Structure 1
């Protein structure tokens, strides 16, 4: 049984006649009829009821046809996959994404990539603080998206593009804010648990410190920002979260901002796409980088 015979079967069923199928396939009618007869010989039964004006599948023919559709679909997928790799396109692309990055920034870029390179498997790797830099430097990620200071990226020797901005706010549940009783100094927060997202990377260089955490501070550590947010909403501690994650809770009063007169105020940081300098990358990673470059240029001109 050959794929070509199954394609003929599909064309005859979909068009309703040998003549119409031959026109669709750009073949002669005898060639189409011969392919059908060969298929019937191999299955050992008639696949069509030829007594009427229009060819109708027999009960067995219907089962063979439905199975042939699955086989042809898998064959088409395989052919597309082979063509994909013949062009040198990557099997998998890993992007390290800092947990504080708004997914709305990535979705349009990923949608474009999926439309052009549907066979490339995309892996979005969640990281915290230095984790994104570590994933890029180790080669485990082709590129990363994370809030950073340019000096950090330059110290690590990475290529980078500014793609967005993020606002970080120190917040707590109203019950904990009330218990703080109007703190004025950083030391006033020491006895209230600070919830901190643990660094997922090597935490070397400029990352080798706990920014915004004072000595003697009560602290809990979590592995992701969603757990951190849940703890803050429950009144179990205070901490810094990106504004896009808590805008709804701030609007409803479920969280309130902690703003000391001189410290722990809201601050804005740049979000960057970055990668190894002079990377050896394929067309998919190249297209991804160019997409971020284009969006960065559009943002700068607007």
Structure 2
């Protein structure tokens, strides 16, 4: 049984006549009729009722037609996959994304890649603190999206593009803030548990210490920012989270920002996408980098308009 015969069967069923099927496939009517006869000979039964103006599938014909659709779909997927690799498109791309980064920065890029390169597998690798940098350093990820300092990225020799900005805010549940009284400095928070995200990397260089954690501070550790947020909402501690992750809780009042009269707790962060310098990439990797470049241009334009 030939795939070509199954394509003819599909065209005849979809158009309803041999004539229209011939026009759709750019063939002659005798060629279409011959293909149908060959298919019926191979199946050993009639597939169409030819008594009316339009060809109607017989009960057996309906089963053969439905099965043929599955076969043709798989054959077309296989053809697309072969063409994908013939064009040199990557089989897999890994992107490390720091939990403090807003996923909305990444989703438009992923949408365009999914549309243009449906056969490439994309792996999103969640990281915290130094984990994203380490993933790119070791080659575990082709790209990373993470908050960073430009000087740090330059010291590592990375190519980088700014793609977003955010604010890290220290927050707690209203009941815990009431218990704190009126704290003025960080020292006043020592006896209340600080919930700290554990580094997913080795924590070398700038990360080789607990940033924003004072000596003597009571502390709990988590490996996930959503778990951290849950603990804060339930009043089990206080901690720092990116603004986009707690916007709803701040609006609803289930979390409140800790404001110290003598200490400034919140700080701005800039999100970058970065990669190894002169990375040899295929068309998928190049498209991802270009898409982030377009995001950066839009961000810069928006900043100019805001000012």
If the TM-score is normalised by the length of the shorter chain, which range does it land in? over 0.9
Alignment of 1:118-197 (within 5 A): 118-197=118-197
**Alignment partner, residue 40 of structure 1:** 40
| Structure 1 unmatched runs, 5+ | none
Q: What residue in structure 2 maps to residue 298 of structure 1?
A: 298
Q: 1:259: Cα distance to partner? A: 2.1
CA contact (8 A) 2:100 2:241 kept: yes
Find the counterpart in structure 1 of residue 31 from structure 2. 31
Alignment partner, residue 266 of structure 1: 266
Deviation at 1:109, TM superposition (A): 1.5
SS state at 2:261 partner = coil
TM-score by length of 2: 0.95
- Aligned partner of 2:284 in structure 1 is 284
Q: 1:263, CA displacement in angstroms?
A: 3.2
The number of aligned residues is 302
Aligned to 2:100: 100
CA distance in 1, matches of 2:267, 2:98: 17
Is the aligned partner of 1:244 residue 2:224?
no
Is 1:215 matched with 2:178? no
Q: Which residue of 1 aligns with 2:49?
A: 49
2-side partners of 1:235 and 1:152: how far apart?
Answer: 35
Q: Aligned-pair RMSD on alpha carbons?
A: 1.2
Whether the 8 Å CA contact 1:170–1:264 is kept in 2: the answer is no
- Give the C-alpha shift of residue 299 in structure 1: 2.1
Contact 1:258 1:264 in 2 (8 A): no
Q: Normalised by the size of structure 1, how large is the TM-score?
A: 0.97
- Structure 2's unaligned 5+ residue stretches are 303-307
Pair 1:22–1:286, CA change in 2 (3 A): same
Counterpart residue number, 2:70 = 70
Q: 250-259 or 57-66, which moves further after superposition?
A: 250-259
- Does residue 8 of structure 2 align to residue 8 of structure 1? yes
Following superposition, the deviation at residue 298 of structure 1 comes to 2.7
Distance across 1 between alignment mates of 2:49 and 2:58: 6
